[in-house]
A = this chain, B = another copy of it.
Amino acid sequence: MRQSKLFTKTIKENPKDEVSINAQLLIRAGFIDKLTAGVYSYLPLGLRVLKKIQNIVREEMNKIDGQEILMPALTPKEIWETTKRWDEIDVLFKMDGSGGKEYALGSTHEEVVTPLVKKFVKSYKDLPVAVYQVQDKFRNEPRAKSGLLRGREFNMKDLYSFHKDEKDFEDYYEKSKQAYLNIFERCGLEAKVVEASGGVFSKFSHEFQVFTEYGEDIVFSCTKCDHHQNQEIVEQASEQKCKTCGGKLEKNKAIEVGNIFPLKTKFTDAFKFKYLDKDGKEKPVLMGCYGVGPSRVMGSIVEIHNDENGMIWPEAVAPFKVHLISLCKDGDIKKADKLYEDLTEAGVEVLYDDRDGVRAGEKFSDSDLIGIPNRVVISSKTLESDSVEIKERVSGKENMIKIKDLKF
């Protein structure tokens, strides 16, 4: 894409009403725009990142047999009454509709997905089923000051799985753990599996936490083995030591980027969702839910990968692979145009800074702020040796390379 056509521009000053690094950098670089507290628009560069994260999530969900669906955000009161959560979930946005109908905006979708899947599952032959969606969710958060980390409207991937017995459920739950670790690794995040409380129906659930001093969560990690527990679990325990190896616990700050939860029969009971087993008997369906927020992952990546000059996108989620910066004048502009076209034709995603009348220094600082992994500078000077200068955003390493040898 030609940067001269991009309607957004970078902003020099940090926005005054944002305290989080992710919101500050994403707004300054023109990736997102704040509409009101906890509510953001995704601008062209930001939407490209969000979509890349969503697609990584989709690929990993498809690998564990997730079938993609799309449920509504607008949900009728009745389904929330069935599970008694109309009053229980304090962050539910509620609305009056025409004809005296009441609605809530989905903050989670167990109430929609359980009766939906029930319609198609009668016998053990129809199980297991795993469905997921990528969709915006809504929470009436009292505080929303962490940028993309805690939104009132935020993007979510939620998968729900349905099983005929404990064994089948447990197997899937373990597979989902690995799928989640794959997602975070592909997004450039080192996430730890953390034991968390499981509610009434299950001893434990699991969170995926990325350690950073800017995190809002506290995780207790064993200093000897790789076992991690959240604060709630540790505070409930009689002794504050690792339950796996007895090692000493260490406190870490972290951002929660995902969680998986054994719901067992909590919702299937409420919706009377049973199946007919081989032996002709009606049995309860076991359920799990698995959540990861692509918008929150996007914010987390920025919190982790930045320096004093701006963002540093991991290649798999970067808005573009190459930031081609032209400092060419007059007749050489055509050569820069040709390099842009050749790279694009070769399938390389290029943001081409073809802006006229913008100083080199400004182009470089914009490029650092936007954080595309590979910066390629073409100028009348580099063209003297038929070359360009490549700089890796993450390491700062610079190299001259012949144009004919360029490869991405």
Contact = CB atoms under 8 A, between A and B. Distances in A.
Nearest to A152: B74
Interface stretch (A3-11, A230-238, A317-325, A381-389): A3-11
A3 to B, nearest CB: 12
Given A120-B8, A140-B97, A44 B71 contact: no
Contacts of A71: 35, 41
Contacts of A93: 74, 95, 97, 103
Interface in A24-38: 30, 33, 35-36
Contacts of A42: 69-70
A131 B7 contact: yes
Interface string A136-178: 1010111000000000110000000000000000000000000
Given A7-B120, A70-B41, A76-B35, A98 B142 contact: yes
A12 to B, nearest CB: 13
A73 to B, nearest CB: 6
Contacts of A40: 72
A277 interface: no
Given A9-B120, A70-B41, A95 B95 contact: yes
A361 interface: no
A93 B95 CA distance: 7
Given A7-B121, A67-B7, A68-B47, A153 B74 contact: yes
Interface in A95-153: 95, 97-99, 101, 103, 105, 112, 116-117, 119-121, 126, 129, 131, 136, 138, 140-142, 152-153
A69 B76 CA distance: 29
Given A41-B69, A95-B93, A131-B7, A35 B112 contact: yes
A43 interface: yes
Contact of A119 (B33, B74, B99, B140): B33
B73 A44 contact: no
Contacts of A116: 33, 35, 41
Interface residues of A, number: 54
A65 interface: yes
Contacts of A117: 7
Q: Please list the 3 inter-chain residue pairs (A to B) with the smallest Cβ-Cβ separation, ordered nearest first.
A: A42-B70, A36-B76, A74-B153
Interface of A: 5-9, 30, 33, 35-36, 39-44, 47, 50, 65, 67-76, 79, 93-95, 97-99, 101, 103, 105, 112, 116-117, 119-121, 126, 129, 131, 136, 138, 140-142, 152-153
30 contacts: A6-B67, A7-B67, A7-B121, A9-B120, A30-B120, A33-B119, A35-B72, A35-B116, A36-B75, A39-B74, A39-B76, A40-B72, A41-B70, A41-B72, A41-B112, A41-B116, A42-B69, A42-B70, A44-B69, A73-B73, A73-B138, A74-B93, A74-B105, A74-B138, A74-B152, A93-B95, A93-B103, A95-B95, A98-B142, A105-B105
